């Protein structure tokens, strides 16, 4: 049993709870001294019980001492502290302030305000200079500008308007609420600013994105002969980091050394972060090696820095060298792989994490890993994560919900994505937008539009991403009028200024529908410079409608912006081939060889039993290559007997033997993946394939026929959308 070194039972107990207590009584002093020696809530409760028995609790000083320990000690419990508070007959102002302070630091700062209002109603006390900083802190955490302004008014009326501690709190409050102008007005009116005043305003400018003003204020601080401290330098380094100003950051390092400012751990980590984000991992490594004390932030910063530079082996060596591995270090590497287009490597690190048992995955781990699953179409891993979230009873916040919807949508299980969407109670704009995107990529344009209107009814304001997704839904399903309507309503109705991606979507909508002249006119009237994506959308439309002249113009404009865009030349080459212009095809291919441009190789992937299988065109590296090609021969024979004829025009555009080997239609990567799917999955399972490029016309036709001949459901995700093949039909209805 846990007890104090001086047993409570050895103290004399008075039977009468109303017996008067004397603050200077030696026995009572002994009891009060035990409060300071408590190391657990259980021990404190023992002292509390004794004080109730002896009547000592009913002494205001003694009660406030017990209450302070229950509220502010390392083992404090607000629930218990509140019960203690409610037992005190007449709490003094110090006790009220202590409870207000405790709630201002808690996850429920609004209770701090409620206690304050109760104090005004139930006690004879008026707030003093110690009350207001806690109330302002609560308003800051709540980000309630109006509440904080009320407290500011009370400060002025209470003659505390010159208290620098309160005014510093107000600077931080206004800056946190985004009102930098008022924060600066408070700062300017402080008669004798201390270093905290300057630090609060510098941090406020950094937080509000006014990095130049933060550095300017630092120079003013120097001119006023106010000695900066480590907190000042953390703020200044944050501004350097955001501005990517490595040279100024290096100057700050020299300034710190010259002025004898203590490089504590927080400042050292801020310096590391500045070096890494300004692109100088070498400087970061030198500082890291000199640091006597390092924490998880130090290690994570180095891992993140090397990973984002593509030096993954070095990043992994840092991960292995961490003295005590925590989930933050794993998250840094998983996230870096995911964000740099290396989803397979991200999943490999996630599997290492599972085997290591050194740390448990958290929300950030799952968000990054689900993103990688979405990129690869690795639904088995994604489903495992979803089940793990349920087992851990982890709350599905908007970040996790969005990630799950995105993963299921991109892995081809739209129904599961909808299930997640309907399950959650709270849906922010990102959750709604993610579900709209899922419906759009699966060709369910009408449903996507209906969901947009439901979002509007739920009073969730759409953002720029929402409109990109809605316009894509219109594009994939030929909803031209609806697309026009949404685009025209963006700014006047919803306050969202169309960006270049919205214009590209609109060109795609018009172009796919064959309205090429209108698409060109639309581009000419754009208030912003058309980007490569705009010209790419027009070029894609020219391929569909075989408009060679316009395709040449669009391709020329695209290459002006992106000279090494091999896709533009390949697309133009396909248009030439489609229209029988073989000399032009040959000329373009020669141009690509001379300039060193190479067509991006087609790659299809498929997950079976948690293992990802990748296929390139004419690939023979798979362990089951023999069986795959045997099945492919069977498919080709069946297709011929069914009357399928290969599109010769696509073959004729190939001009050399190597190119023929890579792109021969019967050996395209998606066909190899389908053949593998037929031999490795049960007939009841859908064949789920992810293709890095747009599926070609012949493969699209073949997939439709295979779905009918083998009675299989095939879900193929290409660069732009999903194709659901079943019974000889495709969900895109050949509008792709």
DSSP letters along 638-686, please? Answer: HHHHTT----HHHHHT--SHHHHHHH-GGG-HHHHHHHHHHHHS-TTS-
Give the number of residues written for the chain: 736
Dist CA 731 CA 736 (whole Å): 10
Please say whether the dihedral angle defined by the alpha carbons of residues 150, 152, 155 and 159, taken in this order, is positive or negative. negative
Measured CA distances, 364 to 361, 400, 416, 608 (Å): 8, 9, 22, 26
State residue 732's pLDDT score: 87
Dist CA 476 CA 261 (whole Å): 60
Measured CA distances, 620 to 75, 492, 605, 663 (Å): 64, 56, 14, 14
Pairing of strands 611-616, 722-726: unpaired
Dist CA 337 CA 661 (whole Å): 32
Query: What's the whole-number mean pLDDT along residues 677-706?
Result: 92
**Cβ pair 613, 605 in contact under 8 A:** yes
* Confidence check: pLDDT of 146 > 70: yes
Q: Which residues pair with 616 in a beta bridge?
A: 603
Rounded (10°) angle between helices 195-207 and 230-243: 20
| Closest to 333 in 3D by CA, of 363, 357, 302, 360 | 302
State residue 724's pLDDT score: 94
Measured CA distances, 208 to 181, 183, 462 (Å): 11, 11, 24
Q: How many CA atoms lie within 13 A of 204 on its CB side?
A: 28
State residue 25's pLDDT score: 65
* Confidence check: pLDDT of 657 > 70: no
Residue with the bigger pLDDT between 583 and 298: it is 298
Coil vs helix vs strand at 603: strand
- For 391-409, the DSSP string reads HTT----HHHHHHHHHHHH
Query: What's the whole-number mean pLDDT along residues 131-158?
Result: 95
Pairing of strands 714-717, 687-691: parallel
Q: What phi and psi values does residue 636 have, to the nearest 5 degrees?
A: -60, -45
* Confidence check: pLDDT of 111 > 50: yes
Q: What is the 3-state secondary structure (H, E, C) of 125-141?
A: CCCCCCHHHHHHHHHHH
State residue 43's pLDDT score: 92
- Looking at every residue in the chain, the average pLDDT score rounds to 90
Cα dihedral: 364, 365, 370, 373 (round 10)? 150
> Angle at Cα 143 formed by Cα 267 and Cα 362, nearest 5°?
60
pLDDT digits (tens, 9 = 90+) for 481-530: 999 999 999 999 999 999 999 999 999 999 999 999 999 999 999 999 99
High-pLDDT (> 70) share of the chain, %: 93
Coil vs helix vs strand at 443: coil
**Cβ pair 602, 619 in contact under 8 A:** no
Contacts of 234 (CB under 8 A, 6+ apart): 266, 267, 270
pLDDT digits (tens, 9 = 90+) for 187-224: 999 999 999 999 999 999 999 999 999 999 999 999 99
Coil vs helix vs strand at 530: coil
Pairing of strands 611-616, 687-691: unpaired
Label residues 529-550 b or e (16+ Cβ within 10 Å = b). ebbbbbbbbbbbbbbbeebbeb
Query: What's the whole-number mean pLDDT along residues 101-117?
Result: 94
Cα dihedral: 21, 23, 27, 29 (round 10)? 150
Residue keyed to tokens 């023999």:
626
High-pLDDT (> 90) share of the chain, %: 74
| Closest to 403 in 3D by CA, of 440, 441, 367 | 367
Please say whether the dihedral angle defined by the alpha carbons of residues 330, 336, 338 and 343, taken in this order, is positive or negative. negative
- For 209-266, the DSSP string reads T-HHHHHHHHHHHHHTTPPP-HHHHHHHHHHHHHHT-HHHHHHHHHHHHHTT----HH
pLDDT band at 662 (very low <50, low <70, confident <90, very high): very low
pLDDT band at 278 (very low <50, low <70, confident <90, very high): very high
* Confidence check: pLDDT of 19 > 90: no
Q: In the 8-state DSSP scheme, what is residue 192?
A: S
User: How many separate helices (H) and strands (E) can be counted in the chain?
Assistant: 39, 6
* Confidence check: pLDDT of 23 > 80: no
**Cβ pair 276, 305 in contact under 8 A:** yes
**Cβ pair 714, 703 in contact under 8 A:** yes
**Cβ pair 413, 715 in contact under 8 A:** no
* Confidence check: pLDDT of 596 > 80: no
State residue 647's pLDDT score: 56
Query: What's the whole-number mean pLDDT along residues 415-431?
Result: 96
Cα dihedral: 220, 222, 224, 229 (round 10)? 110
State residue 664's pLDDT score: 57
State residue 665's pLDDT score: 59
State residue 16's pLDDT score: 31
Least confident of 31-40, 174-183, 394-403, 446-455: 31-40
State residue 11's pLDDT score: 35
State residue 646's pLDDT score: 62
Round to the nearest angstrom and report the end-to-end CA distance of the chain: 74
* Confidence check: pLDDT of 269 > 90: yes
* Confidence check: pLDDT of 18 > 50: no
Least confident of 533-547, 590-604, 709-723: 590-604
State residue 515's pLDDT score: 96
pLDDT band at 61 (very low <50, low <70, confident <90, very high): confident
* Confidence check: pLDDT of 364 > 50: yes
* Confidence check: pLDDT of 142 > 90: yes
Contacts of 402 (CB under 8 A, 6+ apart): 430, 431, 434
Q: Which residues pair with 96 in a beta bridge?
A: none
Label residues 131-146 b or e (16+ Cβ within 10 Å = b). bbbbbbbbbbbbebbe
Rounded (10°) angle between helices 60-72 and 26-37: 10
State residue 281's pLDDT score: 95
Dist CA 734 CA 596 (whole Å): 35
Dist CA 81 CA 67 (whole Å): 6
State residue 257's pLDDT score: 93
Measured CA distances, 217 to 146, 187, 239, 508, 509 (Å): 27, 11, 11, 49, 50
Report pTM: 0.78
């Amino acid at each position: 049993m846990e007890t104090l070194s001086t047993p409570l039972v050895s103290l004399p107990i008075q039977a009468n709870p109303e017996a008067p207590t004397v603050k200077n009584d030696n026995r009572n002093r002994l009891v009060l001294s035990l409060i300071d020696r408590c190391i657990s809530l259980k021990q404190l409760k023992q002292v509390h019980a004794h004080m109730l028995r002896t009547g000592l609790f009913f002494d205001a000083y003694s009660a406030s001492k017990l209450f302070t320990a229950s509220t502010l000690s390392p083992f404090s419990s607000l629930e218990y502290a509140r019960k203690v508070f409610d037992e005190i007959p007449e709490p003094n102002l110090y006790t009220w302030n202590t409870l207000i302070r405790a709630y201002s630091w808690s996850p429920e700062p609004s209770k701090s305000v409620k206690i304050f209002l109760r104090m005004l109603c139930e006690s004879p006390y008026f707030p003093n200079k110690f009350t207001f900083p806690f109330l302002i802190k609560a308003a800051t955490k709540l980000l309630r500008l109006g509440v904080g302004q009320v407290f500011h008014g009370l400060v002025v009326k209470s003659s505390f308007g010159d208290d620098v501690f309160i005014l510093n709190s107000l600077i931080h409050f206004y800056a946190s609420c985004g009102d930098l102008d008022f924060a600066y007005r408070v700062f300017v009116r402080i008669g004798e600013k201390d270093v905290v005043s300057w630090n609060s305003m510098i941090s406020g400018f950094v937080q509000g994105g006014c990095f130049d003003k933060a550095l300017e204020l630092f120079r003013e601080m120097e001119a006023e002969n106010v000695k900066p401290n480590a907190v000042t330098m953390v703020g200044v380094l944050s501004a350097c980091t955001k501005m990517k100003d490595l040279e100024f950051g290096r100057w700050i390092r020299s300034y710190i050394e010259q002025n004898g400012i203590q490089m504590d751990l927080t400042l050292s980590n801020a310096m590391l972060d500045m070096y890494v984000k300004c692109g100088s991992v070498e400087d970061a490594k030198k500082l890291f090696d000199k640091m006597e004390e390092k924490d998880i932030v130090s290690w994570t910063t180095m891992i993140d820095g090397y990973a984002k530079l593509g030096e993954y082996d070095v990043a992994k060596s840092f991960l292995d060298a961490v003295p005590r591995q925590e989930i933050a270090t794993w998250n840094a590497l998983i996230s870096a792989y995911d964000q740099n287009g290396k989803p397979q490597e991200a999943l490999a690190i996630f599997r290492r994490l599972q085997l290591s048992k050194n740390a448990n995955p958290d929300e950030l781990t799952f968000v990054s890993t689900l993103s990688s699953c979405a990129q690869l179409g690795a639904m088995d891993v994604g489903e495992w994560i979803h089940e793990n979230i349920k087992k851990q009873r982890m709350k599905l916040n908007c970040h996790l919900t969005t990630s799950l919807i995105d993963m299921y949508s991109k892995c081809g299980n739209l129904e599961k994505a909808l299930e997640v969407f309907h399950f959650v109670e709270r849906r922010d704009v990102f959750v709604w937008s993610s579900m709209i995107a899922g419906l759009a990529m699966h060709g369910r344009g009408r449903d996507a539009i209906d969901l947009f209107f439901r979002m509007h009814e739920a009073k969730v304001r759409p953002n720029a991403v929402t409109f990109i997704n809605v316009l894509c839904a219109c594009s994939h399903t030929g909803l031209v009028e609806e697309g026009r309507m949404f685009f025209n309503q963006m700014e006047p109705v919803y306050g969202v200024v169309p960006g270049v991606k919205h214009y590209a979507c609109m060109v795609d909508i018009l172009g796919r529908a064959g309205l090429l002249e209108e698409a060109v006119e639309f581009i000419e009237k754009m208030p912003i410079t058309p980007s490569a994506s705009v010209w790419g959308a027009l070029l894609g439309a020219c391929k569909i409608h075989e408009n060679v002249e316009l395709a040449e113009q669009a391709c020329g404009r695209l290459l002006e912006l992106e000279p090494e865009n091999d896709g533009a030349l390949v697309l133009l080459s396909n248009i030439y081939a489609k229209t029988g212009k073989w000399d032009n095809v040959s000329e373009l291919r020669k141009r690509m060889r001379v300039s060193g441009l190479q067509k991006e190789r087609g790659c299809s992937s498929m997950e079976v039993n948690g293992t990802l299988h990748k296929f390139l065109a004419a690939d023979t590296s798979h362990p089951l290559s023999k069986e795959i090609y045997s099945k492919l021969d069977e498919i080709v024979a069946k297709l011929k007997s069914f009357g399928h004829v290969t599109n010769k025009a696509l073959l004729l555009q190939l001009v050399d033997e190597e190119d023929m080997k890579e792109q021969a239609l019967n050996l395209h990567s998606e066909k190899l993946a389908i053949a593998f799917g037929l031999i490795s999955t049960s007939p009841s399972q859908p064949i789920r394939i992810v293709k890095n490029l747009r599926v070609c016309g012949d493969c699209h036709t073949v997939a439709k026929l295979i779905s009918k001949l083998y009675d299989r459901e095939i879900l193929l995700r290409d660069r732009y959308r999903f194709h659901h093949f079943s019974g000889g039909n495709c969900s895109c209805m050949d509008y792709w």
